[in-house]
């Protein structure tokens, strides 16, 4: 009811046709938690452990979307969604650039859904099939699975801070270009290198989602080579980064059984002239008294040798009244570089309980822990500064644990 009243108010304020604006909807999610954090001693000498309190905002967002019937069974639609930073820090920048989350415009009909803009990839969308074991986002999907990433374009080898992807610590960077000095790109644009995360929300992209046939659906995405360069790196190669992502999923028995598979190719993300590739399988089964899910994925990052990474996870949800006990375990194996293992794996486990007061409001509490190997720096998305009081990524080898209480409200 509130959304309808807001739409009418907007229509009156803008003096626009009421029929068109009546289809516009304002929506959002406020997700917050109070945390007791602990960071263990890292691999590097001279850096100690740290214990602190934190208030975190978990992908809180606000957006506006709308649909219009344009005839012939076709619908035009748009969505603009942005982060809602519900916290501020004197040390760490928390930004809320407009349209920083899933934002696009498209056409939809019996043939499917075609749109352009910024959206999570088909690879990332498969997490919805299995990730039932998480409370307040402290789980595998925001840490180990997918080697987590943020919104942005393809990593650019012409950035001098290109090799900053979490979870890939310990492997050497590419040689410095000899033809021209590298530029300083923003942290999102430059994030990449060996170990760059495959979980992505890609911009500058075109997407297609097929209709659902017998419970099955195909999704495709292509990120354009907007960041193509005319500047050669070492060896005379020119960076021309782009990527594709494709998935197929199926659900049956009223949605109780779910399964999906995805395949990605990331061109020039790690090495110019090479394509990093990965595949994953996710799925789940709701038995009624318990819902279980599992995921398995492999990636190959290209340098002078193949760098192979494997992650997997399991999750479970046990309904109790209007809530559920939720738990998960996930593991990132050490990256194998030409047959040699790099000590940058990690293990993550979490357990908690959430209770739904209504469709809009729920609360929860729980515990989660990440054990990082000597050269790993995994953490969960959206946490506060770590040992040095600024960076949100812990030093390599620092374990992270958290007790939390959360509240989520949707409108």
Model pLDDT for residues 256-274, shown as the tens digit of each residue: 999 999 999 999 888 888 8
% of the chain beyond a pLDDT of 70:
80
- CA-closest candidate to residue 164, choices 142, 135, 186: 186
CA 227 – CA 268 distance, rounded (Å): 11
pLDDT digits (tens, 9 = 90+) for 354-411: 999 999 999 999 999 999 999 888 999 878 788 888 778 888 899 999 999 999 999 9
pLDDT digits (tens, 9 = 90+) for 96-120: 567 888 999 999 999 999 999 999 9
**Residues 160 and 191: beta-carbon distance below 8 Å:** no
Domains and their CATH numbers in the chain: 2-410 (2.40.160.10)
Asked whether residue 90 carries a pLDDT value surpassing 80, the answer given is: no
**Burial class of residue 309, CB neighbours in 10 A (0-12, 13-18, 19+):** buried
Q: How many residues does the chain have?
A: 411
Asked whether residue 6 carries a pLDDT value surpassing 70, the answer given is: no
Asked whether residue 213 carries a pLDDT value surpassing 90, the answer given is: yes
* Secondary structure (DSSP) of 330-368: EEEPPPEETTEEPS--EEEEEEEEEEESSSSEEEEEEEE
pLDDT of residue 175: 35
Asked whether residue 12 carries a pLDDT value surpassing 50, the answer given is: no
Is this model's pTM higher than 0.75 or not?
yes
For 390, other C-beta atoms within 10 Å of its C-beta total 12
Contacts of 67 (CB under 8 A, 6+ apart): 23, 75, 76, 77
Average pLDDT over residues 177-206: 64
């Amino acid at each position: 009811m509130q959304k309808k009243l807001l739409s009418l108010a907007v229509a009156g304020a803008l003096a626009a046709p009421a029929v068109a604006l009546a289809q516009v909807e304002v929506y959002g999610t406020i997700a917050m938690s109070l945390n007791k954090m602990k960071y263990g001693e890292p691999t590097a000498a001279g850096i100690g452990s740290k214990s602190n309190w934190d208030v975190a905002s978990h992908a809180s967002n606000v957006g506006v979307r709308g649909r219009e019937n344009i005839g012939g069974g076709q619908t035009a639609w748009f969505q603009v969604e942005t982060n809602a930073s519900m916290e501020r820090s004197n040390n760490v920048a928390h930004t809320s650039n407009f349209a920083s989350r899933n934002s696009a415009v498209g056409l939809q009909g019996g043939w499917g859904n075609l749109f352009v803009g910024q959206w999570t990839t088909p690879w990332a969308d498969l997490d919805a099939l299995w990730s039932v074991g998480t409370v307040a986002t402290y789980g595998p999907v925001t840490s180990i699975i997918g080697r987590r990433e943020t919104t942005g374009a393809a990593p650019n080898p012409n950035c001098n801070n290109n090799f900053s992807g979490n979870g890939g610590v310990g492997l050497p960077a590419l040689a410095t270009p000899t033809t021209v000095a590298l530029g300083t790109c923003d942290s999102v644009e430059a994030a990449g290198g060996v170990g760059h995360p495959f979980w992505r929300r890609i911009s500058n992209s075109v997407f297609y989602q097929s209709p659902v046939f017998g419970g099955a659906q195909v999704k495709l995405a292509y990120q354009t080579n907007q960041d193509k360069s005319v500047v050669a790196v070492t060896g005379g190669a020119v960076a021309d980064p782009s990527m594709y992502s494709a998935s197929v999923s199926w659900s049956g028995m009223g949605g109780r059984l779910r399964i999906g598979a995805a395949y990605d190719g990331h061109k020039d993300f790690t090495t110019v002239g090479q394509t990093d590739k990965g595949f994953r399988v996710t799925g789940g089964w709701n038995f009624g008294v318990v819902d279980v899910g599992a995921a398995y994925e492999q990636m190959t990052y290209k340098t002078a040798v193949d760098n192979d990474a494997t992650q997997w996870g399991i999750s479970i949800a046990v309904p109790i009244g209007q809530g559920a006990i939720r738990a998960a375990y996930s593991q990132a194996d050490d990256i194998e570089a030409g047959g040699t293992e790099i000590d940058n794996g990690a293990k993550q486990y979490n357990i908690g309980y959430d209770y739904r007061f209504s469709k809009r409001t729920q609360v929860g509490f729980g515990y989660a822990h990440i054990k990082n190997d000597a050269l790993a720096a995994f953490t969960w998305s959206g946490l506060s500064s770590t040992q040095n009081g600024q960076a949100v990524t812990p030093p390599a080898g620092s374990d992270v644990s958290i007790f939390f209480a959360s509240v989520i409200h949707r409108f």
